[in-house]
Chains A and B, each alone.
Chain A
Amino acid sequence: MTIPVSEAAVAAIPAATASRARGRLRQTLALYVPTGLLAAIIVACFLYPLVGNVPPPVGGSVLDAGLPAGTAGHPFGTDTSGNDIFSRLLYGGRVSLEVGAATQVIGMILGGLIGMIAGYSRGLLAAVLMRVLDTLIAFPALVLALAIAEGLGPGELHVIWALSFFSVPAFARLARAATLRLRDQNFMLAAALSGTPRWRIVAFHLAPNLLPQQLTFALLGAGVAIIQEGALSFLSLGVPPPGASWGNMIASGMQTMSVRPSLVLLPCLALLITVAALNLLGDALRARWSAR
């Protein structure tokens, strides 16, 4: 609220400086903590297994089943099939991160392109594209993803295709809205008046201005995609066991939830932390870029 307490002039100046510094510190923290967290997760999932002493996520023998946390060589213990849980967490993380990244890249490129065209063109093409986009968005995307995953069968690549059906319309809608806003701005008109061909306008004038917004959206969307991948794997439509995915770890862990909650808790926490880091980073970037 904007109701102040009148303060004596000079004495207040140091306080004002201090609170400004605190604000800056908070902003910096908000940006770098999630970045660091994400970096740590990526390094852990992709690099650590190459250098550390991590047993394979599959192919464990039943003799090793059910080992508790802290056992030598198995920091988090083993699951009912004898696979090392820590290892499965890391490899499952690979799946999540790959799916997250891939779906957003596909969405940004394809969806961004469609959205820009839908926003920039006029007449019949725009109208048709807009109707199609609206239909895609109205369609319960989850149904689509489920159906596609079901039809294609389990597997990481299929999950990526299925989830791209989510991300492409989402990016397209975002790109379209932003294009509509920018279309009539002076710099766009100037480019058109100077005879620049339309594809160049879109590629070199429009796209760069859309990029910051698309990037923040991609970070948030990656979080959504990772959650959806978890959901699909949970419903046995994603990475099939014995392959590791946080989603199917949760699914199999559910059966022994009351006796060994860590089997469910650990992948849940992994999902939560990763997605939260993505959201925090996306939010911090958005705050920074819109304050400019």
Chain B
Amino acid sequence: MTAPAAAPKAAPVLEVRDLSVRFRPRGGNLVHAVSGLSYTVAAGRTVAIIGESGSGKTASSRAIMGLLPRSAQVSGSVLLSGTELTGLSPRALRRHRGSDVAMIFQDPARSLNPTMKVGPQIAEAIRAHKKVGRAEARERVIELFKLVRLSAPEQRYDEYPHQFSGGMRQRVMIAMALSCSPKLLIADEATTALDVTTQAQIMRLLAELQEQLGMAILMISHDLGLAASYADEVVVMYAGRTVERASVRELFGNVRMPYTSALLGAVPRLDRAAHTPLPVVPGRPPDLSAEAAGCPFAPRCPRAADKCAERRPAFDEHKPGHWYACWYPLPDGPRAVEAGLANTGPSATGGAR
């Protein structure tokens, strides 16, 4: 999973182009949850979407699955193995959900029907897409349990969700997601609710399954460390827009966007002296109902200048394989992580590239 960034050879499993999602909550203004999101995910690769809460990362993944509330307006293009998903009728969309693209969620405790046995919940997913008998479906479910390394799979079939631990529940969710061999698996904060040890187990399991089955994984998280360990490519979102996108190595090695750098800087590190204050990003994410003129990060950016507040920087491929949207990006080099926070203006570095 941490192979060097290479151009995908086959057609991408998921191609998102200029995706926008807008909501109008009751009695409120139009909220631009996602604006102009574009990325691709190739088979066998993992793309991580990183952002704070409210960055639009979850809304974008729900838009792909068609799981947004009725009042949401979605525009742009989502191509799943060449099939356009936006604009599909609910019935047509349903055929793809669970079979071609599957999703696992953050809280496995609440994501399973508490009054239904676990086995039938998965069998139900299988039988929704394929005409198989009950016995055959049960066999398949037990196979899936073995695949996700759940012990005593035959017994587990007839047990209820509350009888499982958190990690085991998430394995059940993975089994459910894999039941129809999807081409794309979306993991929406799948390990956020788990303790660190279980998190590692689950991520390793996903990595192995990816190698075995060759599926693409879209990983949604706020945890850069997780992305560093398990993703091939990272897309950083802020206020509903992409602000930086690159392969993992390139991003962590040559971070450009001050926001990304700040995120990196906010990760607690073992090599800092004890009691070093954790550098947090001051301020709060912007109100998504107001379409700001300039760069959305400008109010909080230590390197912001007047230009940043007036005109929004374009999200371009400034370097092969490395997209970002910034007027005054950080210079090359690992020092950029610390430098990004120490600098208070564009003059300290060399201005825009």
* Interface set, chain B 90-132, CB cutoff 8 A to A: 90, 93
Contact B30 A9 (CB under 8 A): no
Q: List 24 A-B contacts (CB under 8 A).
A: A2-B68, A2-B69, A3-B66, A3-B70, A3-B90, A4-B72, A6-B63, A6-B74, A6-B85, A6-B87, A6-B93, A7-B73, A7-B74, A8-B73, A8-B75, A9-B73, A9-B74, A10-B75, A12-B73, A13-B73, A16-B71, A16-B73, A20-B24, A23-B26
Contact A5 B22 (CB under 8 A): no
- Complex partner residue of A5 from B20, B26, B75, B89, CB under 8 angstroms: B89
B86 part of interface (Cβ distance < 8 Å): yes
Given contacts A2-B69, A4-B70, contact A16 B89 (CB under 8 A): no
Residues in chain A within 8 A of chain B (CB atoms)? 2-10, 12-13, 16-17, 20, 23
Name the 8 nearest CB pairs between A and B, nearest first: A9-B75, A6-B74, A4-B70, A12-B73, A6-B86, A2-B69, A16-B24, A9-B73
Chain B's closest residue to A1 (CB) is B70
Residues in chain B within 8 A of chain A (CB atoms)? 20, 22, 24, 26-27, 30, 63, 66-75, 85-90, 93
**Among the interface residues B67, B73, B88, B89, which one has the most CB atoms of the partner chain A within 10 A?**
B73
Q: How far is the CA of A6 from the CA of B72 in the complex (A)?
A: 8
Note all chain B residues with C-beta closer than 8 A to A3. Answer: 66-67, 70, 90
A9-B75, A13-B30 known, 19 other contacts, Cβ within 8 Å: A3-B70, A4-B66, A4-B70, A4-B72, A5-B70, A5-B89, A5-B90, A6-B63, A6-B66, A6-B74, A6-B87, A7-B73, A7-B74, A8-B73, A8-B87, A10-B75, A17-B24, A20-B24, A23-B26
Q: How far is the CA of A6 from the CA of B93 in the complex (A)?
A: 10
Question: Within the complex, what minimum Cβ distance (angstroms) separates B44 from chain A?
Answer: 28
Contact B20 A9 (CB under 8 A): yes
Question: Within the complex, what minimum Cβ distance (angstroms) separates B301 from chain A?
Answer: 29
Contact B87 A2 (CB under 8 A): no
Q: How far is the CA of A170 from the CA of B115 in the complex (A)?
A: 34
Q: How far is the CA of A16 from the CA of B93 in the complex (A)?
A: 23
Q: How far is the CA of A3 from the CA of B22 in the complex (A)?
A: 15
Note all chain A residues with C-beta closer than 8 A to B26. Answer: 20, 23
Q: How far is the CA of A5 from the CA of B93 in the complex (A)?
A: 9
Contact A4 B68 (CB under 8 A): yes
Q: How far is the CA of A49 from the CA of B263 in the complex (A)?
A: 77
Chain B's closest residue to A5 (CB) is B90
Chain A's closest residue to B88 (CB) is A6
Q: How far is the CA of A5 from the CA of B86 in the complex (A)?
A: 9
Q: How far is the CA of A16 from the CA of B26 in the complex (A)?
A: 10
Q: How far is the CA of A225 from the CA of B75 in the complex (A)?
A: 55
Note all chain A residues with C-beta closer than 8 A to B69. Answer: 2, 4
Question: Within the complex, what minimum Cβ distance (angstroms) separates B113 from chain A?
Answer: 16
Question: Within the complex, what minimum Cβ distance (angstroms) separates A42 from chain B?
Answer: 32
Chain B's closest residue to A23 (CB) is B26
**Among the interface residues A4, A7, A9, which one has the most CB atoms of the partner chain B within 10 A?**
A4
**Among the interface residues A5, A13, A17, which one has the most CB atoms of the partner chain B within 10 A?**
A5
Chain A's closest residue to B97 (CB) is A3
Note all chain B residues with C-beta closer than 8 A to A20. Answer: 24, 26-27
Note all chain B residues with C-beta closer than 8 A to A4. Answer: 66, 68-72, 74, 90
**Among the interface residues A7, A13, A20, which one has the most CB atoms of the partner chain B within 10 A?**
A7
Question: Within the complex, what minimum Cβ distance (angstroms) separates A20 from chain B?
Answer: 7
Q: How far is the CA of A266 from the CA of B90 in the complex (A)?
A: 50
Note all chain A residues with C-beta closer than 8 A to B86. Answer: 6
Question: Within the complex, what minimum Cβ distance (angstroms) separates A33 from chain B?
Answer: 21
Question: Within the complex, what minimum Cβ distance (angstroms) separates B138 from chain A?
Answer: 28
Chain B's closest residue to A8 (CB) is B75
Chain A's closest residue to B27 (CB) is A20
Given contacts A9-B20, A9-B22, A16-B24, contact A2 B73 (CB under 8 A): no
Note all chain B residues with C-beta closer than 8 A to A10. Answer: 75
Chain B's closest residue to A9 (CB) is B75
Chain B's closest residue to A12 (CB) is B73
Note all chain B residues with C-beta closer than 8 A to A2. Answer: 67-70
Note all chain B residues with C-beta closer than 8 A to A17. Answer: 24
Q: How far is the CA of A17 from the CA of B70 in the complex (A)?
A: 14
Note all chain A residues with C-beta closer than 8 A to B20. Answer: 9
Note all chain A residues with C-beta closer than 8 A to B68. Answer: 2, 4
**Among the interface residues B69, B74, B88, B93, which one has the most CB atoms of the partner chain A within 10 A?**
B74
